[in-house]
Structure 1
Amino acid sequence: MSDEPVTEPDGREYRIGELAEAAGVPVRTLRYYQERRLLPPPRREGRIGLYSEEHLARLRMIANLLERGHTLEGIRELLAAWEQGRDIETVLGVEKAVTTPWSTEVPVTMTMDELAALFPDEEVGAASVRRALDLGLIEIDGDRVTHWSRRQLDATVTLVRAGVPLEAVLSAGRELQQSMDALAAMFVDLIATHVVGRLEEQDLGELTDTLARLRPGAQVTVEAGFAAAMDRQGAASRPAPAPVLGRGGPTGGVGAGERLEGRVRGARVRLPRRARGAPGRRAATAGARRVAAPAAPRPEVLAADRTTPGRR
């Protein structure tokens, strides 16, 4: 920002006290703005500093930007860009694209009794309320409680009614916040390093459009990545599949299913020893008895015996 004093031979000029009163700020604030190079030095007449209408307009612009949530450092950069000939509205467009809230959640307000009634099987005690306050989930105004997100409150109620303790949900919320903060910091670093770069070297209109397009892309990336992570967790938690018929068991030998059912394509069925034990023994015993018993004479032998002389 330029350190050259502003000279306005025409128009009203103010001493420092008069300028502070016209702008509605204390004199010490005006001096602080000068130290931060937010305000150019006055025109000097001897030991008296005289400020112009331009100084007053600058102070009113600073106050307006502060009301809109800008920091003093951000205002200094905006004014520096303005002095370099850039359109301040374009500069503000970039700033808006960067600082516009990402969240579109709808808050919900109720009494403390109504909040407690959402968790009929849980005691919403002072400790739980304090943790929710620390996490920024709720704000309390008298007997009214405002939860920052109706959707998140509904999700919490669903988990608790399914059997997850409220304290466990709040603990998971703390870990989720930490993970999301780290993820957001990574995205900010990527965009600041590779997209924004040096503002003075870029077309600010194109940069504003680029930043607007990056928002949904970043959100989709996070959503898709979380869905894929849940799929991996689900796959890891599934039990190992049972042995498939016709394949070897865990040790590489013949599986139980194969021994019981036999090979579908094989010519011989092999039953396990335990499965063929008792019936096999009964069959072997019966066979032995058949071998040991005397054979019945054939009819032709009996006929020959009757017709042969000398044999009765």
Structure 2
Amino acid sequence: MKEYYEKIMLHYLQNPGEHQLYAGQQLSKSLIEKDIPPEDILGLHISIMKESGHVLSEEWERSFQFLMEIMVSFGMAYQERQSLRLKKKQLESEINVAISMQKKLYPPTFDDEFHDLDVGFISTPAREMSGDFYYYTNHSKNKLGILVADIVGKGIPAALCMSMIKYAMDTLENDVKPANMILDYLNRLVLKNADPSLFVTMFYTIYDPLTSVLTYSSAGHEPALYYHARSKKYADLNTRGLILGVDANVKYEEKAISLESDDFVVLYTDGVTERKGSEAPDDNSILREALSTADLSLPAQDIVNHMYQYVIREKDYQLDDDHTIVMIRKK
């Protein structure tokens, strides 16, 4: 490297021109690729000047010494910056893999096997990765399980916890456990395997098409919003139960309702109902407002989209948290 540097530099001193300067630019790229620190380049430059017979005045000698001290600090900062850029690039690559993995965890469509239900859903992350999760699975005797969860803690650990819950739900296909026992099972799973800093709220429902009965259980999650079409009245559905991942001995309560034609239940996460800057307690009133402006004769997915658009308009399109809404309607 020294010989090549010396050849280019001395050639320029003897025949200064654009071609020689371009060769110097190309050399600088090679030096960067080889991670040569700037103080070494400066030292090389000075030594070549002296060895080739160019005498530096005392003033120039001192100026180069001063510049050398600057280059040492500059070089250290530059190397640290390069290291941080490399780490950032690696982290971005890992996050992209996690985002791709997370997207595959969500069900792409609703299972049309349950012909008497119309289901719509939307889930939007506030940032690149979401802490919200929704899923459905078949239980024994053709019952349908639908859950909405909020993982308290974001990023890759939340995605891993979400993956664990998803595959746990897959193992419960054709299982006969009631909703509260499924929460008990998932609670022990989160306690045993998830990061201790992660906690999970969840609302779990099981629908039986033979009886039109919807059973439900909650692990510290927001109450579901129930609409009784015949009376045109709303009610909150909630049960007692601590969030998942805190206490192995917690007991989860289960309740049930019978769905009639056009009745629906809306599951959601707390990001939906939080009103920025409001001193009023968080509740699902914003969803009731959205539904009061919706055409309830539309398909469930259209109504869910309407609710979401209403919510984000009310928040001036500033999403500080993940937003998930799932609507289950009896046809």
TM-score normalized with structure 2 length: 0.21
Structure number with the higher helix fraction is: 1
Q: Which has the larger radius of gyration?
A: 1
TM-score normalized with structure 1 length: 0.22
Structure number with the higher strand fraction is: 2
* Greater RCO (Cα-Cα under 8 Å, separation 6 or more): 2
